[in-house]
Amino acid sequence: MYDRVASMGVSIGRQSQLNRMQADLARFTGEMSSGRKADPARELGVGASLLYKLHADIQQGEAIANTGALAGQRLTAMQDALKSVGGLMDQMSTETLQADVLKGVSFETIASNAREVMGSMMDLLNSSWNGQSLFAGLDSATKPLAGAGALTGATGWAATALADLAAGGDPVEIGGSTDDGTDATLLGTFNAMFRNTAIDPDASFYGVVYQAASRTGEEPSQVRIGAGETLQYDMRADHPAFRDAFHALSLLSLLDQPEEALPEDAKTDILREAGSLMRGARSQLTTAAGILGAKQERLARVGEIQDRTVTAAASQINDLEGVDYYTISDRISTLQIQLQATYSITAQVSKLSLVNYL
């Protein structure tokens, strides 16, 4: 009886060994064809944590690289817009430098050009990329600026301010202060508006022109460039460079007013003031564009570092997960021989009579 049980156990054990070898052969054949280990973590044992970390590093690196690439494209679009804005500022600066020679109809030409330039600048600063406004900061779903007509239109803020100052019937004062220390002149009214010191909030730059909730100096825009590290930039349509440019253009838009509203000498004073503001705005814009360019360069360097990091991690993973073709080939050959021997033994046993087998 025990002999029969022992013989049965040998047969079951042989069958189990046969199944295991067939499974190993199938696994090794699959690894040979794919070039990758079927279960590299099992072979690494406690060292599998390194493999998991490398995969995590690649995922994080690719996510940061993608974010950085999108941010880089956004900054490039911003720089293109700033370049165009700078060109418009240069155009108006050139015209304002002719204050001593411009008379009569030339004032009308400058006023018309100022309104056109204002519209173009606002269109550029209201531009969007990938569905988000470029110069609205964190409030990127909103166009940051109202239309140019709100400032320089026939019923815009500039024309209304001039009309209010001329309502008393006296000549409009261009500059200076009243006895109580307040500045109720034309230039004083414009200064209060664009420096946001007006008593009425609705008559300030943020009440008339800028309509986004995110403002310069508040929480900046951020781009993730590493684990716990971000790159910050702050370039919005209410930047002092743009405000001064709008200030200058608003003044220039008044130069085609009739002589009784603004005498020629007053228009010359306005032209000089606007020219000074525009040149200051251009200088500020150059500085701001340079700072933004430095951010672009750093973002590009971070992208290169992330690419190298991902490549290095992928190489390590390939070393850990890749198969050694010579070793696998040798294992397959050995298993084939063992299987052939097992099949042969099984076939020989199957030919024995029941009496001999027991």
Contact 165, 186 (CB under 8 A): yes
Choice between 318 and 74, residue whose per-residue pLDDT is larger: 74
Question: What percentage of the chain carries pLDDT values higher than 70?
Answer: 73
* Per-residue confidence (pLDDT) for residue 319, from 0 to 100: 64
pLDDT tier for residue 181 given thresholds of 50, 70 and 90:
very low
User: Residue 312: its pLDDT value, please?
Assistant: 81
CA 137 – CA 133 distance, rounded (Å): 8
Residues pairing with 133 in the sheet: 128
In this structure, are residues 260 and 163 in contact, taking their beta carbons and an 8 Å threshold? no
145 and 210 Cβ atoms separated by less than 8 Å:
yes
User: What would the pLDDT profile of 37-88 be if each residue is shown by its tens digit?
Assistant: 666 666 666 567 777 777 777 877 787 788 888 888 999 999 999 999 999 9
CA-CA-CA-CA torsion sign (289, 290, 296, 300): positive
Q: Domain 78-293: give its CATH code.
A: 1.20.1330
Which pLDDT belongs to residue 80? Answer: 95
Q: Provide mean pLDDT across the span 330-338.
A: 72
Assign 3-state DSSP to the chain and report helix, strand, coil percentages, each to 5: 70, 5, 25
In sequence order, which residues have a C-beta less than 8 Å from that of residue 124 and are 6 or more positions away?
81, 84, 85, 88
DSSP code at position 201? G
- Residue 113: is its pLDDT beyond 60? yes
Global pTM reads 0.74
Instruction: Give Cα separations from 204 to 209, 243, 252, 343 (angstroms).
Output: 8, 11, 18, 94
Domain assignments of the chain as residue spans, ordered by start: 78-293
Arithmetic mean of pLDDT, 180-196: 80
How far is 196 from 22, CA to CA, in rounded Å?
A: 83
Pick the range with the lowest mean pLDDT from 154-158, 290-294, 351-355: 351-355
* Reported confidence tier of residue 97, pLDDT bands at 50, 70, 90: confident
The chain-wide mean pLDDT, for the chain, equals 81
Between 17 and 145, residue with greater pLDDT: 145
- Local confidence band at 334 (pLDDT 50, 70, 90 cut-offs): confident
- Per-residue pLDDT, averaged over 210-219, amounts to 93
Banded model confidence at residue 135, pLDDT cuts 50, 70, 90: very high
Predicted local confidence at residue 43, as pLDDT: 64
286 — pLDDT class (breaks 50, 70, 90)? very high
Residue 2's pLDDT is what?
A: 46
Q: State which amino acid sits at residue 298.
A: R
* Nearest-angstrom CA–CA distance, 350 and 353: 8
* Mean pLDDT of the region 183-193: 87
Residue 107 scores a pLDDT above 50: yes
